[in-house]
Structure 1
Amino acid sequence: MSETIVALGEQSLLEGFPLAGVELRVAETDHAVHDAWALLPKNARVVILTPRAALALGEIRDDPRSPMTVVLPL
């Protein structure tokens, strides 16, 4: 199984990522961010987050079992 990179957050900030082979998970609300995080594929190794998505997840992304996260700059 190959490893996956996922971009999660507002569509307007992530539109170009699929062009580089990144899976896009659009989440426009805090609730949608949490739902998308819970449904990440098991092979997700890196998750690119918008600043709003990172804020919504808070400490959840610090769990050592979670994939590595990268937050886009403001």
Structure 2
Amino acid sequence: MGRVAAVGERTRVAGLALAGVTVVAAEEPRAVREAWRGLPRDVTLVILTPAAADALGPELGDGARPLTVVMPS
């Protein structure tokens, strides 16, 4: 079974660590893209904030990455 990770603004993702989610705080678009590319291979689900999803843009649709879900605004 793979891990779950969350990427985005610290204030939106920090609490997920209490549920065992690997939290990667990334405030700026460049940091989001670096976090996305640096996710461990055993991550099978990524929770993104809306801003993080916007920063990733077309990278989300490349099909080579884990399942993703975007938090509601």
TM-score of the pair, normalised by structure 1:
0.94
Runs (5+) with no aligned partner, structure 1: none
Mind listing any 5+ residue stretches in structure 2 that lack a counterpart? none
Deviating runs (4+, > 3 A) in structure 1? none
Q: What is the correspondence of 1:1-74 to structure 2 with a 5 Å cutoff? A: 2-74=1-73
Percent identical among aligned pairs is 44
User: Cα distance, 1:56 vs. partner?
Assistant: 0.3
> Residue 3 of structure 2 aligns to which amino acid in structure 1?
T
User: What is the Cα deviation at residue 40 of structure 1?
Assistant: 0.3
Higher helix content, 1 or 2:
2
Deviation string, structure 1 residues 14-59 (Cα, Å, up to 9, x no partner): 1210110000001000000011011000011000000000000011
3-state SS in 2 of match to 1:16: helix
Q: CA RMSD in A?
A: 0.8
